[in-house]
A and B are shown apart, each in its own frame.
Chain A
Amino acid sequence: MTISMVNPSGNLREQMPFLTKMERVIVSMQDPDVGMKMRNQRLLITVIPHAMTGSDIVSWLTQKYAITEEEALHIGNFLVKYGYIYPLKEPRNLCLKQDESPYRFQTPYYWTSTRWPASEMDYAIYLAKKNIRKQGELIDYEKECYNVLHKRINHTWDFVVMQAREQLRASKQRRKADRLVLEYQEQAYWLVNRPPPGAMEVLEWGPERGSIANPRVQLVTGHCFFLNNACVCECSFVKYCEQYQDHDPIMQGCLPSNPWITDDIMYWNMNSETAVMPTKLRVERWSFSFMKLLNDPLGQKEFLIYLEKEFSAENLLFWQACEDVQHGETSRIADKVDEVYKQYLAPGASNWVNIDSKTMESTLEGIHQPNRFVLYDAQRHIYFLMKKDSYPRYLKSEQYKNLLEKAIVPQETKKSVFPFMRRQRHSSPSPALLTQAGDDDGKALSSSVRLDL
């Protein structure tokens, strides 16, 4: 995919910060004191100066950035792929080999960021040079490009050929080593900017960004900044991570086993929303925060049972109804708000909730023009009421403590040692199945459904 960034302020370095970073690496590699050790490289009969081996590059990067060899090879490979270092042996293959293969630094003239985008005319001249120098030296895809360019910029073709001839003549007057180096440099540049078919286009970026540049000054009014002491906030992160460490399968594993590893889905079954008896970890999580309790349907059920005993179930029911209004269909808002009013807010309602008079007044007023947030304040009031009052008492209650005791701690099942005894993987029933009316579960579910438009 070719990118044409006709951005007047377009500076490639700015838009692609990684190029600046790469260049910094390259520059430090060439530092006279702590940079790479370079030597002369013999290619057949010519001696090329300032070359280095692939393994030297890898070990320099390993040492400089305190990383593993694998990572150093990975980074070094990018330096070559983006044309900042080019190989002398097998010059058409832009990749880094961790052996004695010789490499050289690309001249800044040909850096990806300086000469970008590559001009068509330059490419035409390059191909013309190759063609003139040795007939038939052009590779297939180059021949195609050559023909295409010949048609496209035909009006300048005389100029192109003349330039090519001039450049060839000038290069003949150079020493063989210099001439070779220049050829390699130019070739590397074009391999990056006009890659052969099948090679990865390293300069591919995806859709354009920043096509709207809005320079207007942002007016921010009525802001309140709450600058808390960050030390307190940061300790809360430490506490949170510690609290949840046992609940994080990547940190502590999960029992009975991680379904992705053993292909045993018991873990998912045990923790599903419809599980009858919850696991201990799950019940523990309900004590971490009120939100955690409410986010778990099983937790909500348990909490409701508790509230019923305390004769304050209407609070939770009201909260649930408000959630339904807020997240439900727009068309049904008016009806739902009406229902909520009748059940929870009207004087003498069957499930009347105890809200402070100010909130009640403004809510009742707002109900005349129902929108999805009309019950927001009342909902918040009840939420915090439950959180401060009923929730802590629930956690201390016999009901919760009993559940915690009875809750399951699964036995660990080890991964099967014999790979050929791996369990069959079945596709899980799609949630869409639950909503399909009258669908027979005898229908075999294929493991992958592809629907094309």
Chain B
Amino acid sequence: MCDHTFVAITFGPCDSCTLNKPLMNIYLQNEPVNYCSLCVEMMACQGLTQGENLASLKAESEGLKLRLEEERAKLHDVELHQAAEKVEPLGQLVTKARRSLKGHGNKVLCTDWCRDKRRLVSSSQVTEHAVTMPCTWVMACAYAPSGCAIACGGLDNKCSVYPLSLDKNENLSAKKKSVAMHTNYLSACSFTNSDMQILTSSGDGTCALWDVESGQLLQSFHGHSADVLSLDLAPSETGNTFVSGGCDKKANVWDMRSGQNIQSFETHESDINSVKYYPSGDAFATGSDDATCRLYDLRADREVAIYSKESIIFGASSVDFSISGRLLFAGYNDYTINVWDVLKGTRVSILFGHENRVSTVRVSPDGTAFCSGSWDHTLRVRTGRYLSLSDTHTHTHTHTHSLT
């Protein structure tokens, strides 16, 4: 059982200096060791030979980065929209709000769908179940795969799990379980394939995997040099990887088993607010404060598409794909949702309706609807229907009836 008085990651004797200190779990020659942060620094600097210092190493690493970019560019420069030239362009997207869930109190910061496809949890006000927490900014929430629990956290630096019950009078806080402890705010959390493990990301620059039952830290992920704002688990068959995005403008892909940073992408010009895998797991999209969304291909190891428009000035706070991966829904800080054609790179629709910034956009698990949560205290569940170009002309007449 983890001792909650310590805010450090793990605590104990360092493998190198044997002093009792907060420990970092690292790998040296594929062996897991526990070093205190001072020994990690010293060990890292042991690689410095005479004449080297931090500045020269930085210059060397920048040089390597440039070389890598050149190599990448040599292989091809086909962008995704060029490869998708023969694909039929999309017509008109008709959407309608089906449910508007108004709350009282705080801004909606985060939502998650339950696997039963119709329940939502949101982090200040909810549809079926509600938990309010003493700290006002609950920035992360997630539904457990079984639908029997939710996890949430925020400025309290913790992620807590609440088992759900039907008894209205039961005090949920009594059953609350503190699972994760970070040294800064919790920005995102997600259950892995079961109710037993939670992956968290934090303003302290780390991500971590926790065991729900014991509250024990199973793995920690170091590599971001600033706050980590978002994470998403890979749907791929080899599983066990996830991507995270942060204020250091980087999106990192991690191996959950070893804690290693497998791939890293740094092309955004500002904080990455949201990351989401493409349904096949071969790519992921990001939404950033630089007002663009980008698609990164994991096998090609590069960015393959940018979704931006001169008229879009505000940052994208949240992104999600439709089931087929053809559409990318992105919520922006200018209160709108822009819908992008993933293959062609064009914007196909802009949705108004919210009266404050859109903080979260999630497509339901079966793709029948998508939900947007906003600082205007509402959640809107919308359906959409694409009309191909040939349909659009005939449809506009008949459609006006059913929209009333």
Give A contacts to B, CB under 8 Å.
Answer: 16-18, 21-22, 25, 61, 65, 67-68, 70-71, 74-75, 78, 200, 206-207, 209-220, 223, 225-231, 233-238, 240-245, 247-254, 258-261, 267-268, 271, 289-291, 323, 326-331, 373, 376, 380, 383, 387, 415, 427-428, 430-433, 435-436, 439, 443, 445-453
| 19 contacting pairs across A/B (C-beta < 8 A) | A68-B350, A207-B203, A234-B83, A236-B280, A238-B343, A247-B367, A248-B323, A248-B324, A252-B386, A261-B98, A268-B117, A326-B193, A328-B194, A430-B128, A432-B147, A446-B168, A449-B166, A453-B133, A453-B172
User: B93 → chain A, closest Cβ, in Å?
Assistant: 8
**Which residues does chain B contribute within 8 Å of A452, judged by CB atoms?**
130, 132
Asked, given contacts A17-B290, A218-B225, A453-B132, whether A22 binds B71 with beta carbons under 8 Å apart, the answer is no
**Which residues does chain B contribute within 8 Å of A439, judged by CB atoms?**
166
User: Which of B47, B172, B304, B381 is in CB contact (< 8 Å) with A260?
Assistant: B381
A428 to B147, CA, bound (A): 12
**Which residues does chain B contribute within 8 Å of A267, judged by CB atoms?**
368
User: A24 → chain B, closest Cβ, in Å?
Assistant: 9
**Which residues does chain B contribute within 8 Å of A448, judged by CB atoms?**
127-128, 130
Q: For residue B332, which residue of chain A has the nearest CB?
A: A18
- Check A250–B383 contact: CB distance below 8 A: yes
- Check A327–B75 contact: CB distance below 8 A: no
Q: Which residues, 254 to 285 on B, are CB-close (under 8 Å) to A?
A: 257, 261-262, 264, 269-271, 278-280, 282-283
A219 to B41, CA, bound (A): 11
Give B contacts to A, CB under 8 Å.
Answer: 44, 47, 54, 57-58, 61, 68, 71-72, 75-76, 78-80, 83-84, 87, 96, 98-99, 114, 116-119, 126-134, 137, 139, 146-148, 154-155, 163-166, 168, 170-173, 184-185, 192-194, 196-197, 203-205, 211, 213-214, 216, 218, 223-227, 229, 235-238, 247, 257, 261-262, 264, 269-271, 278-280, 282-283, 289-291, 297, 299-302, 304, 309-311, 313-315, 322-327, 333-336, 342-343, 350, 352, 356, 366-370, 381, 383-386, 402
A5 to B299, CA, bound (A): 40
**Which residues does chain A contribute within 8 Å of B269, judged by CB atoms?**
17
**Which residues does chain A contribute within 8 Å of B282, judged by CB atoms?**
233, 236-237
**Which residues does chain B contribute within 8 Å of A453, judged by CB atoms?**
131-134, 171-173
- Check B322–A248 contact: CB distance below 8 A: yes
User: Which of A78, A223, A233 is in CB contact (< 8 Å) with B334?
Assistant: A78
Q: Told that A248-B323, A248-B367 touch, could you supply 13 new A-B pairs with CB distance under 8 A?
A: A17-B289, A70-B352, A207-B185, A212-B226, A213-B226, A238-B343, A250-B367, A327-B192, A328-B194, A329-B211, A383-B237, A451-B168, A453-B133
A-B complex: 5 closest residue pairs judged by Cβ atoms: A431-B147, A327-B194, A244-B324, A248-B324, A234-B83
**Which residues does chain B contribute within 8 Å of A427, judged by CB atoms?**
128
- Check B279–A244 contact: CB distance below 8 A: yes
Q: For residue B101, which residue of chain A has the nearest CB?
A: A448
User: Which of B78, B99, B291, B323 is in CB contact (< 8 Å) with A247?
Assistant: B323
- Check B324–A18 contact: CB distance below 8 A: no
- Check A450–B323 contact: CB distance below 8 A: no
User: Which of B71, B194, B205, B402 is in CB contact (< 8 Å) with A415?
Assistant: B402
- Check A212–B75 contact: CB distance below 8 A: no
**Which residues does chain B contribute within 8 Å of A74, judged by CB atoms?**
334-336, 352
**Which residues does chain A contribute within 8 Å of B216, judged by CB atoms?**
330
- Check A219–B185 contact: CB distance below 8 A: no
- Check B147–A253 contact: CB distance below 8 A: no
**Which residues does chain A contribute within 8 Å of B300, judged by CB atoms?**
227-230, 233-234
- Check B129–A258 contact: CB distance below 8 A: no
- Check B247–A220 contact: CB distance below 8 A: no
Q: For residue B55, which residue of chain A has the nearest CB?
A: A217
**Which residues does chain B contribute within 8 Å of A212, judged by CB atoms?**
184, 203-205, 226-227
Asked, given contacts A17-B291, A75-B311, whether A213 binds B381 with beta carbons under 8 Å apart, the answer is no
**Which residues does chain A contribute within 8 Å of B335, judged by CB atoms?**
74
User: Which of B184, B299, B342 is in CB contact (< 8 Å) with A211?
Assistant: B184
- Check B309–A22 contact: CB distance below 8 A: no
A237 to B78, CA, bound (A): 14
Most chain A beta-carbon neighbours within 10 Å: one of B205, B310, B342: B310
**Which residues does chain A contribute within 8 Å of B302, judged by CB atoms?**
227, 230
**Which residues does chain A contribute within 8 Å of B311, judged by CB atoms?**
61, 65, 67, 71, 75
Asked, given contacts A212-B226, A250-B384, whether A431 binds B301 with beta carbons under 8 Å apart, the answer is no
User: A181 → chain B, closest Cβ, in Å?
Assistant: 26
- Check B87–A260 contact: CB distance below 8 A: no
**Which residues does chain B contribute within 8 Å of A289, judged by CB atoms?**
237
Q: For residue B86, which residue of chain A has the nearest CB?
A: A238
Most chain A beta-carbon neighbours within 10 Å: one of B119, B166, B289: B166
Asked, given contacts A71-B311, A448-B127, whether A251 binds B327 with beta carbons under 8 Å apart, the answer is yes
**Which residues does chain A contribute within 8 Å of B262, judged by CB atoms?**
223
User: B389 → chain A, closest Cβ, in Å?
Assistant: 14
**Which residues does chain A contribute within 8 Å of B223, judged by CB atoms?**
218
A214 to B246, CA, bound (A): 13
**Which residues does chain B contribute within 8 Å of A271, judged by CB atoms?**
366
- Check B84–A451 contact: CB distance below 8 A: no
**Which residues does chain A contribute within 8 Å of B44, judged by CB atoms?**
216, 219
A323 to B262, CA, bound (A): 23
User: A165 → chain B, closest Cβ, in Å?
Assistant: 41
- Check A451–B130 contact: CB distance below 8 A: yes
